[in-house]
Structure 1
Amino acid sequence: MSTEPRTVSVNVLVTKSLEIDEPAWCIDPHSSAQFRPDIAHNGPEIAASFETRLGPVDYLRAWISHAPYAALQDEPLPIVAVEVDAEVVTLDPDSLRAFTATTRAHLDALDRLADELDHIRGGGQ
């Protein structure tokens, strides 16, 4: 048995503060970021809200977002994140305009459905 000191390499996680540029529109406290790729800048949310008999329902939440250090970043610039059916989709300006056009068309269809319901409730077939 040797009496000489031995060494071993141990992987340790070292935590230190990282100073990053903060966009003026970002309101995220960044408290959940543990690694550089986790850093995301998020702006204020907007949401449509509708009052029902059971209380308000918020839908189509959206906000500007940018993850400048994300490993699999498709878009190097800020995007808009939209929550649809509990899923978040990220859209560039052209995709967001296409999404809103589709949504407007759907809203028109909902208006026609309301008209049909009025007709049915009014005794029409």
Structure 2
Amino acid sequence: MTKVSDPRTVTLDTIDFGPVTIDEPAWCIGHGWQVGQGIGRNDITHNSVRVKASADTFSYGVQSLMRTWMSWAPFVELVPRVVVELDLSAEYEAEEVTHIAGVLRTAAVRLEKVAAEAIRLRGDVL
């Protein structure tokens, strides 16, 4: 069960500590995905919105290249971390690779922005 006590506090049922009430950072998207999962206190994780990058290719259509988001398990980690998932493994026409390279440059900027936000938030967490 999840219960929002006020806009910045959430209570989650855990298998090892029972109901645990924690402060929820403003950037957290909520904990609905953790409800009913039999989580322990160390599994409680705040996640931000996922930032994505995809490339439209002639050979395979839209291909996901990257997903990234901030994540923080407050009982395990001192500060938010950045999750990075990279995809793509196929053979492409040379012209498609030029397009994919441009998308990767855009993805790099997005990664840097998420990392910068995580670094900025360290002051709020510590």
Bigger proportion of residues as strand:
2
* Band the TM-score falls in, shorter-chain normalisation: 0.3 to 0.5
TM-score, normalised on structure 2? 0.48
TM-score, normalised on structure 1? 0.48
Which protein shows a greater Rg?
1
Bigger proportion of residues as helix:
2
Structure with bigger RCO (C-alpha 8 Å, 6+ apart): 2
